Chain A
Amino acid sequence: MVKMSLEPVQVMSGQVAELKVAPSSNGDSAGSWEGKREFDKDHLGLTAKPKPPKPENAVTVAVSSRVLFRTEREQKVFEQQGVEEYLRYQIEHENEPFAPGPAFPFVKALETVNARLRELYPQSEELFDIVLVTYNHAHVGIRLINTINHHNLFIERFCMTGGSSPIGYLKAWQTNLYLSADANKVREALTEGIAAATMFMPEKMTEVSESQLRVAFDGDAVLFSDESERIFKAHGLDKFFEHEKENEDRLLDHGPLKGFLEALGKLQKKFYAKGQRLDCPIRTYLVTARSAASSGIRALKTLRAWGLEIDEALFLAGAPKGPMLEKIRPHIYFDDQMFHIEGAAEMGTIAAHVPYGIAQKHNSKHNTSAGK
C-alpha cells in the first residue's frame, strides 16, 4: 500500500476518505506498479474487452440515458421536486441499476452485429460504437456506469454535459445517429445535419430478434426529403400520385436518415463479402405509404441511384403501418409522422420520431415535453 498522508484530506472534508487511485495507464511514471491496489481493468491484456474504435472508422450511435434506460421514476422526482432532490435521489439509488428503455433492444442488437463483425474481421474498426450522451449532471454518472455494468453493455464513451447542449460533442464524435427522449434536442441535432430521432417508451414492447438487427424506415421525410409530402399535404392524394408519376425518373432529394441507411449498407456488404448474405445479421426495411404500382417506383429508383440496397420494401398504398411492423418486428422504426409512431407503439413496435419536414406543422399537438 502506498504510504500517503491522508490526514489533511480527512480533516478537511470531515469524512473518512477511501482514496481510490485510478491507475496510470501509460505507465510512464516510475514505480507505477508499486502498491497498485486495483489493477487496470480496462487495459489488462487478460480481459477480452476490445478497444473502442476510432470515430472516423465506426458507425457512432449516440443514445441518451432516458431512452437507453427507464428513468420515469427519476423524471417524476425531477419534475415534481426539482433538480436538487432529483440528484439526491439518484445518488441514494446509485447501486440500483435502471431497467432497459426503448433503445435497449436496438443497442443490444448493435452489439450482436459487432460480435459477428469481429469474428469475420478481427482487425477492423468498422463497427458500431455506442456512446451515451446525456444532459445529466455527472452526479448521476456512477449510477449510469453501474447500470451499464449490470446489463453488460459495451459502452466505453460517454458525455454528461451537466445541462449544456451536447451537439458539439456529437459533431466531434462524428455521430451517425442520435436517439433522445427530447424532441427539442433531436431537432437541434437535425439542424446540424446529424441523423436523429425521438424515442418513446411504448406500453408494451414485442419481442425482437436477438440475432439479427432489423431497422425499418419510412420513405418520405425520413430517407427522402419531404418534397413529395408537401404536394400531398397541399393538393391531396391524386395530385401526389400524378406528380410522382411525372417525376418518376427524377431522383428524390435525400432525407435525414439516408446517411444512416448508407452506413448500415456498408456493414452489410462486409458480411456479403464473406458469403453471408443469407445469414446477414443486419436487415433493412422500407415501410411506406407509397403504392407499389405508381409512386413507389420513384422511391426505388432513387435508392438504386444512391447505390443503396434495402432488403424489403413494403408499399402500403396508405394502409396502416402497425400490422406490417408487427410482422417485421424491427428493433427501431423511423417515421416523421406521430400518427404512425403512435400506431406502431400501440402494437408494441419501438418507433422513433424524426421531427423533420412539412408533417411537423401538423404534429404540434403531439410535441413531447422538454427536460432531461
Chain B
Amino acid sequence: MVSTDQKTDVKEKEADCPVVVAVTSHAVFESGGAEDPDGLYVGGIAFPLLQALQKVNERLLKENPAESLLFDVIVITTESQQQQQSSRITESIRHHGLKVSRFCFSNEEDFIENLLNNNVHLFLTTNRNEALQGSQKGVLSVLLDEHTASCPTEQLRVLFCGDAVVQSEAGPALASKQAAQSFSAQIGKMRGRFGLFDSPISIALVTSRGGRESCGDALRTLRSLGVNADEAYCLAGVPRGPIKRLLRPHFLLSECFSSN
C-alpha cells in the first residue's frame, strides 16, 4: 500500500507537522450553491467547524507563537461543476473571513489523488460516496451531517465512539484505522497544549453498548495514543441520541477502536 507507507514516512520525519484538514466546498457552503446578494456563497454545514478549527489555531499560537502543530485547512472541490467556480469559491472564503491555506480544484475523478498528494490527515465531506472512497484509499474520512451545523464555534468538540457498533459511515479499512490513530494522536497532542478548563478543544468518549469494561478499554486505547479524554460516557445500551444532542460534537471518530 504505497500511499500508506508514504504517510508513515512523513510522520516519522516531522514530529509536529501541521494537521491537514480537507473540507469539500459542498460542506463549506450551502448545497445548491445558494448565493447572497453579492453573488457569494452562503455558509453551510461545515462553517462552525471551520471556525472552531480556526479558534484552536489562534489559541495554539497564543500559547506558543512558534507553534507548528496547527490545523492546515484546505478547501477541495470534488466535482467538475464546482471546479469551474474557483474564483467565486475563493472570494466567498475570503469574504467570510475563513483562513484557508490552499484550494484544490479537483473533480470526481482526481480528488482522491489530491487528498493523497496533499498529505491530508482528515477529509470532511457531506457526501457518503466521497467519504467511502477516501476511506478506501487510507484517508481518514468523516461524513458531516446537519448536526455539525449547530455546533459551537468557540470550541472544537471531538467525539470518540468506543465500540465498533458505531462504525464510521465510510466503513472500516485497515489503512483508515492507522490514519485515524495518527490523527487522534495529533488531536491528543493539541489538547495537551491547553489546561483542563477553557480549552478550545474538548475530547469526549462514548461507548454505546458495552459496560464499564468496554469503556475502560477504550480509555486505555485512547491513552496509548496520547489522547486524554475530557469526558466519558458509558451508555450500556441507553439510546445515544439524547447524549449526542447534549455533547454537540463537530464530528465522530470510531476507527481507532474497530477490531480489524
Chain A residues with CB under 8 A of B163: 22, 24-26
CB distance from A73 to the nearest CB of B (A): 20
Give the number of chain A interface residues (Cβ < 8 Å). Answer: 61
Nearest opposing residue in chain B for A52, CB measure: B236
CB-based contact B211/A156 at 8 Å = yes
Q: What string of 1s and 0s marks CB contacts (under 8 Å) between B5-19 and chain A?
A: 001100110010000
* Contact among A9, A43, A54 for B225, CB-based, below 8 A: A9
Query: Does A41 sit within 8 A of B, measured CB to CB?
Result: yes
Q: In whole angstroms, what is the CA distance A62 to B219 when docked?
A: 22
CB distance from A236 to the nearest CB of B (A): 47
CB-based contact B257/A42 at 8 Å = no
Chain A residues with CB under 8 A of B226: 12-13, 15
- Tell me the residues in window 10-63 of chain B with beta carbons closer than 8 Å to chain A beta carbons: 11-12, 15
Q: How large is the interface on B (under 10, 10 to 19, 20 to 34, 35 or more residues)?
A: 35 or more
Task: Using known A-B contacts A5-B8, A12-B182, A12-B185, determine if residue A22 contacts B257 with beta carbons closer than 8 Å.
Answer: yes
* Contact among A26, A145, A146, A149 for B215, CB-based, below 8 A: A145
CB-based contact A26/B212 at 8 Å = no
Chain B residues with CB under 8 A of A51: 236-237
Nearest opposing residue in chain A for B228, CB measure: A139
- The residue among A12, A55, A137, A161 with the most chain B CB atoms within 10 A of its own CB is A12
CB-based contact A52/B237 at 8 Å = yes
CB distance from A317 to the nearest CB of B (A): 46
- Give the A-B pair count, Cβ closer than 8 A: 184
CB-based contact A22/B230 at 8 Å = no
CB-based contact B185/A21 at 8 Å = no
Q: What string of 1s and 0s marks CB contacts (under 8 Å) between B90-105 and chain A?
A: 0000000000000000
* Contact among A9, A20, A25, A41 for B182, CB-based, below 8 A: A9
Query: Does A286 sit within 8 A of B, measured CB to CB?
Result: no
Query: Does B66 sit within 8 A of A, measured CB to CB?
Result: no
CB-based contact A29/B246 at 8 Å = no
Query: Does B200 sit within 8 A of A, measured CB to CB?
Result: no
| Pairs A-B, 6 closest by C-beta atoms | A156-B211, A138-B232, A24-B164, A162-B230, A172-B242, A138-B229
14 new A-B contacts at CB < 8 Å, known A42-B211, A87-B196: A9-B185, A9-B224, A11-B15, A17-B225, A29-B260, A52-B237, A137-B230, A145-B219, A156-B234, A158-B212, A159-B233, A162-B230, A162-B231, A164-B231
